Every structure is written in C-alpha cells, then in structure tokens.
A and B are shown apart, each in its own frame.
Chain A
Amino acid sequence: MSKFEAGMEAMVDMYIYETTTLLEQLDQILMKTESASSFGEEDINEIFRIMHTIKGSSAMMGLENMSTLAHAIEDMFFIIREEKPVITNTRDLYELVFNASDLLKAEIELLQEDSYSPTDFSGAKQKIFDFVDVLKGKAPAGNAAQGTAQAPAATAAASQSAEPAEQKNSDFTAVRVFFEDDCKMENLRALLIINKIREDCEKLEYEPADIETNPESAKKIIENGFVIRFKPIGPVENITREIEEALNVKSYEFISTPAKEEKAPVQPAAAQPVQQQASQSVPEKKAEAPQQKEEGASVEQINNLLAQSKSGGTKQSLISVNLNKLDQLLDMVGEIVITEAMVTANPDLKGLQLDNFQKAARQLRKLTDELQDIVMSIRMVPLSGAFNKMTRIVRDMKIKLNKDVDLVFEGEETEVDKSVIDNLNDPLMHMVRNAMDHGIEDTAEERIAKGKPAKGTITLSAYNASGEVIIVVSDDGKGIDPAKVLAKAKKNGLLTKPEKDYTEKEIFNLIMLPGFSTNEVVTEYSGRGVGMDVVRKNIEKIGGSVSVDSKFGQGTNFIIKIPLSLAIVDGMEVTVGKSIFTIPINSIKESFKLKPKQLIKDTSGKEMIMIRGECYPLIRLYEIYGLEPSYTDLFSGIIILVEAEGKSACLFADELIGEQQVVVKPFSPLLNNFKVKQNGMAGCTILGDGSITIILDVNNIISNF
C-alpha cells in the first residue's frame, strides 16, 4: 500500500466514506435542481462546498487527479455563484457535472483495489474549462473570472514584494508561513489554511494569490513562504492559533501588525517592534508540537470538513462506525441472549425456590431484551438511500432512451437491516433499468394510443408486512406478454413441463431463470439475459424472494420480499421425533389438540382441518421431511395453525416445547446448494444447551408442500 503517504493509510476508509457520501449528496442536489430546472443560491453553495471538500480531502490524500477535477468544478460553480451568468445550455452543465461525479465515483471504486493507479481526468477537465470559457464569454465581467476575493490579491501579487500593498492596507496583519520541507502541494495546504481562517477575517488577502489554480505556486511558497494579510474580526490570536495548528506548518512570522499611529509605509522586517520578534520565536516552537500530532490533526481536519459539508456548520450528532464492529456487537448480544436463557433456565435450578434469583433474572431478561432492541435499531437504515440512487439511473436513461418517465417513491422511510440494504442496490438497479428499457413504451404516442398519460411512471414502494419488508418496483408500461415469454423459454430450453401446464404466474417467473432475456437486442442497459437471474440470486442471498406480476398492456410489478432483520426472531420450538424445529411466532396463529369432528378428508384422501368454519390443509412435518415421529396419530400430537402471505395451513408436530428468542444463523452455502430454503428451512439456531434447531420458513412450506 504505497499509494498513500505514510500516516494517510489509516484515513483511506474515512476518505472513501466521506467522498462517497458527498458525491451522493451532489447527485441528489443535481437531480432535485434538474427536475425543478432552477439552481437556487443554496444549491450552488452546496455544490461548491461539496466540491471544495472533495478537493481538499483528495489533495490531502495525495490524489491529485481527483483533487484537480473537483477543483475545476468548484471553479465553475464559483463563477456561477459570483457572476450569475445566464446559463443557456443548462443541459450541458448538468451533463458535465454528472459526468465528473461519475468519474470521481469510479475512481473511488478503483481506489479500493490493490492495484490502483490514478486515472487521467484531463479530458473531463478540459471540457469543464471549455464550458467555463463559454460562461465567461457570456458573462459581462468576464475578465474578473477569478472572482472578486482574489482580484485585489492578484494585483498585490504583481508587485514582487508585499510591502507596497500595505500602504493601502495598513490595518492588516501580515504573516508569512513556511511549510515543512517536502510536505508537497504547499499551495493546497496554504489553501486549507485560508479556508480555515476565512470566517474569522473581515478582510483577507494572500500571496501567491493563484494557489487554487496554479500548482506552480507551490514552488513560490517554498521559496518565499506564504504571505497572508488579514484583518481579523476577533483577536489576532484566533487566527494565529489556526495557523499554528494547521497541517505541516513549520513556522510562521509576523511581517507587520496593524499600524496604530501612522499610515506611513511600514519598512520591511527592520521596522518590526521588538515584541514581534519575541512572538515570532515563540510560535515557532509551538508550531513544532502539532507537527508530531500530525496524524491526529489531519483526521480532525477531515472531520471538520465533513461536519461543515454535512450540516452547514452546525455540530453533527452522527458518527460513522465500522460495520464489522456492529456485526460483532450484534453477535455478542446474540450470545448474551442465549447465555441468559442458559442461566435462568438452568436445569440445576429445577425445583428450587429462589425468589430473589427469579427477581434478578427477570430484571436481566428485561435488560437483555432492551439491549437487543437497541442493537437491532442501530443497524436499521431507511430505504430512502437505496431508492434515491435510482433517481440517477432513471435520469440518465431518460435522456439516453428519450422516454419521459416519472419516478415515484412510496414508503421510502421503511427501515431494513443494513446488511439487507447493501444487497438491495444491485437488484433494484436491474429492475429499474428493466422497467425503463423494456417496461415503458418507446414513444409517448404509443402510450397515448393506449389511453395512458404520455409520461410514464415507475413506482418504488416499500412497506412492512408480518415481519417482512415488501418492496415493489412497478411501471405502467407495456407489461409482459406471456405468450412471448413462453415461446422464448421454449427456445432456450427452459421449460420443464408441457407448455399448457404453465400458469400465468409461473410463466412470468420464467423471466428470472438464468439465460433468459425477452429483448432480442442487447442494449447498454439491459438485455444480456443475466439481469433478472442476478436479481433473484442477490435477493435470495439475503433470505428474500422475488416474484413478477404483470398485466399485458398495463404494466409490470416486481415484488421483492425481504426479511426485516436477518438476526433475531421469536420462535416456538416443536419436536418431531428426535428433531427440534423453531417456528417463527409471528407466523403462528394458534396451536391446539385436534378434535375428531374437525378432521375432513377430501376425495383423494387429502387431510384438511376445519377451524371455525374455515378449512385448512394439513401438512405433517414428519412426512414432508422424512423423519421418524413419536406420533403418527393426529389426535396425539399437536396441530399448529400457521399463516404466511395470506395463505394458511395446519402443521402437525409431536409437541410444543416452548417459546424462545433465537439468533438466526444462516445455512452454510453448501447447504443452500440443496435448496433448503425452498424446502421450508430458513436457517438454524443454537439453543441454550448448545443443540441446534432448524427454523422453519412457513411461507415456503405452505407453497411447496
């Protein structure tokens, strides 16, 4: 890992996280403003600040290419902000910024690989520069492009020595800053200082003035030092402290202080009062200390920048935590829950009268429950983040495919476990792309002819239902033609039974088989025939399921069901012979002993159970799983009425053992190869005594047996 300077490696994670967040913010702003087709001042400032932060932190990481690209955009928005030119070709502007944002994102991805080498962004930069030229050409005050703040400084820079300028600015304090030898990119470091102290200064000039734009200025800084002239709002000490604490500052000296008595030009150095000489040597010593704390200071700096960019100056109350730590915490809490059960339900305690112990145990139980809830809630993230990413995709495709589409969100505040979200991005993206590409009609005329509004709609909705989160990606486009799907599946040899035996639902679900794609033409976005297959795999990986529902001519719904949390469920343990199974409590409606009059057999001898006028199919667990039960007589065992997704059935088991909260452990991938999930097993869990039980997936049992 020699891609970063020593001491920076520790910050790579932080940098990547921060920059990604910022770029997402940028996309959001762009998307918002583009659809509203107006740039508010606030938005421009925000973009400016984002780019500024990326520039700064990239420079600190030594990623010059990213830093300069961000810089180019920053400059562009600087001009837009300061001169408010009339932008006629807004679309080009958006294209430029989106493009740059994509480049930066891609670079961040690359950065995470071991063999990273910086990408050359000069092409993109040139485009931005060209655009800036256009902007300037149209702006009346074109030659003041560098902005008002820098203009006076530029004139000051014109004269080799700084002193003459002070004639006019006698109430300025001037400081010359020297950076550590070989700290590299002195100009950017100087810029960081300027940014830090800007708020505290009424007036601020510096030399060289072109540090932001001209990398050559670094050399000048090395030779002559970096001269800052400022008129502070508060005490001068505030500013000097900032300078002292800044990164890589070797030393600094006062050139002049506010001339109190006369306006006469101050002679350089020689005219300095003795006091200044003293203060000059003291800070020099002080400046050495921060040097050693360099690493800590720079983390702080990133944090500062982050805080600034996030909340516009207010203190942020969020911290970012490594997910691994959170996982460890969750595992730990899981173990505590199990251990708690091991202690309180310890067989050694059986038959003992332990009032105080019971009281303490109850208290412990309450606390562990709360602890668990909190840990679970930490990991819950709203879906809005994942949804928002789709806005960008829809926007890009709208332009490329020339289709007019609205993207609508519903219930994006629904929360799911972080691990679920991470696995949801790709499937969502695929589905939205599919909807855009295949779903929505090619032309508005086509839509109008069908009596639909000219503008298509893609809806992403999410809601909670019985311990699961359901996400629906729907479009009001062409819908799926079952005949076409069937023909295609036949052509690709995907059919496993006679054509006429397929129900419509089964036909739609053929789409998700590997090697299926209805689009004959491979487009940039979809049609490689891997899409839906990957979607299904990704969703199944997180214990969810996907199904398709479509009305030909009216639209298509992709329905994703994912478990709310992968970690802890309330379960009821039942025995079947020697095996113990856990049934999630939220899918149990009731359990009872069967009465003879409740049992019905249909003509084919299939058993059904009548409960309060409703008839439910009976599934004998030992039968479907090929186990040796204690009872085969329905009246000796126990019947459990379960429900999932509106379907109900009765399960027959030997007996109920009890209720317990269990930590779900997913099956090994080895077992997943054997379709354990489809066979109604959701995972396993370890009980207090160390034995393993299998958690049943009621939905799959009802559907598949």
Chain B
Amino acid sequence: MNNQQEILIDKAILFFKRGDFSLGYRTLLDAALHTDNVTIFKKVIEFVKKYENQEEDDKSSLIKDFENCANAVKEIPIENKTLIGETILKGSNLVKEYGKNKFVLGPVSVELKRGDIYGLVGENGNGKTTLLTILASLIKNSSGDLSYHFSEGYKDHYDLKSKLVYIPQRAGVWYGNVIDNLKFALVHHGVTGEKNELLVYMMIARFGLWKYKDLKWKELSSGYKMRFELARTLLRRPEIVLLDEPLANLDILAQQIILEDLKMLAKSHVNPIAMVFSSQQLYEVEKVSDKVIYLRNGKPSEGLNLEKEGINQLIIELDTQNSREEIERSFDESQLEKIEFNGGVYILYFKGDISFNSILSALAKKDLNIQYIRDISKSTRRFFVY
C-alpha cells in the first residue's frame, strides 16, 4: 500500500512543475501541516516567504526550493491512518418545531463520517441554518436523537462545543490583527511558544492570508474574512466543521478556492474532517459534496419523494436568445415532454432513453444561439423548478 503522505507530496511537486503553482503550494502546506514538526514548519515558512515575496505569477524559478522543501517534508514519516469513514455524528429523525402552525424542520436523519462533505441546499427559509445549528448543538432539537463520536469523547457541553466548529453566515467581528487572533485561538488549544507562532504562520500561508496577516478585520474583504475563519477553525483541529453559507459574498474565483480547500481539508488522510455546509451555489456544492441534502419546507428531498420523480428522465437547463417555439422545433414531439420557462432559463424535460449528447447535436443542427446548457437530471437544481 502506497504511503498517502508521499502520494500527496508527489502530487504537490507535480502540480508545481505543471505550472499549477497555487495548488502545488497549498498541497505542500497541507503535507507539511500533517507532520506537526517544528523543524519542517520553519523550513516551509522560509519557502513561503520566498513564494509570497515573488510578485510574478510564474513561480517556476522556485521549483528547486519547492522540491527541497517537499523532500524535507517527505523525510518525516507519516503512517497511513484509517480514520476516513469513521462515523462521527449521527442524527436520527431530527425534528425542530417552532410552535403550533409554525415552521417545522424534519424529520431529518444524518450520518456524518470523517472525510464526508455534505452539501445543504434549499431556498431561503427552508431550514438549512436550523439544521446546521442543531447539528452544531447550538439549538436543541424538539425530537430525534443526536450523538457525537469524537476520537477523545467530551467531558461536558462546553467541551462538546469546543470540538464542534460552526461558522455562521455572518461571522462575528473580531479586533486586532489576523496573527494575534489566530495565536489567541491556538494557544487555548494547548499550542504555545514557538510552535504556536509557526503553526499560525503555516495556516496563514495555507489560506492565502500571508499578505494580509497584519491587517485588521475591517481591512479584510469578505473572502479573506472567510479564509480567516477557516484558518482559525482549522487551528482548533476540529473533527466536525459546520459552515453556513460560506460562499455568500464571495466572487467566483474565491468560491472555487474555498471549496477546493474545504475538500482538501476534509479528505486529509491525517485529520479527516466531517463537513456540512449550506449554500445557494448549487453546482459548486454538488461539485465538492459527497452528498447533497435538499430541504424544502423543512423536509429533506428523501422525505418529499423528489428523488424518485424523474429519476430516469433527462432534464436540461438551457439559456438561449431563441424563442420557445424555436426550441420546440429543434426536437421531435416524441422526445420533448415539456418546457418550463422561469423568465431566465428554460428547463427541458425529455421522454424515454435519450442522451445529453443527442440533445446537444439537435440544438447544433438548428443553429440555436446557446448561452448556457447543463444536464440537471442528477442535480438538485431540478428541485428548484416550479
């Protein structure tokens, strides 16, 4: 069996050599963080300084240093762990009632395993935040069972909440600079002195905060505030992370980076994390999530039997300048079941066994002016259609 740490480091070198400098850099930092070794941290931070100080996008001149660093990390043996897949949170038939004739969430059943990423989608007011806060033990569920299975257990509720990390949509204001806040968070988790500083710098580099480390909260953009929250969260070595709309207010590039980071962190072979996050960015969520929970009126998609509807049906989302008639003319009557238009995009439902490629071909033949097309047959996007 190949050593996962070595595979990770080789990947980092490969990314860097191919020119995916940022990805390689972040992967190397993850590998270095796995070592938990002060000497490695020092060496990596030396490289980080060079990397961050080079203003050109092309970092290929740093490949030698990068490799040296990667080899040093490789020298620290990290045994393969089998933590991924261990159940860490189990919620059965969770229900939250807010009084008679008021909103009811659930019943929802969730089983979170280490390394799992759960996406939570649904329109506003359908219970995403409620479910997250129940899982974060911030509010009490009206009925149902909720249990946690941390590697070291917990002594009391405060201890439980220390282990659960919930990042709300609007993270609280903090004062002072980035470094001090991260050091303050880390020192409470028993990491003091030199290691405290090194680990904080590692995390700052990992989340792209290096240039902003001396800034204050109000001086950071929304994206960097979210990165700060993630850095602070990860310093606590959490086993469960619950994020409420982490992508809100982020530009598309920032969204992609954050999602990629979440995935990398969740799937860490040393400290895999169970993650649940809610978002309105359906496609981005689906891209990184192992499972997506769709909530409508407080009920999960399983409970609504939505999953079964159109389970073998091809459903297309289409954005075009052409008219509805022109679209209809592109397909045989026998193929197209119905078209829905919400004012922005068309949703096309097809009958029988028809492939996405044949749809593309049919549209190309009619020379329609396509802005955007997507197969949403397996996506929760289809639930958002009325």
Is the pairing of A and B real?
no
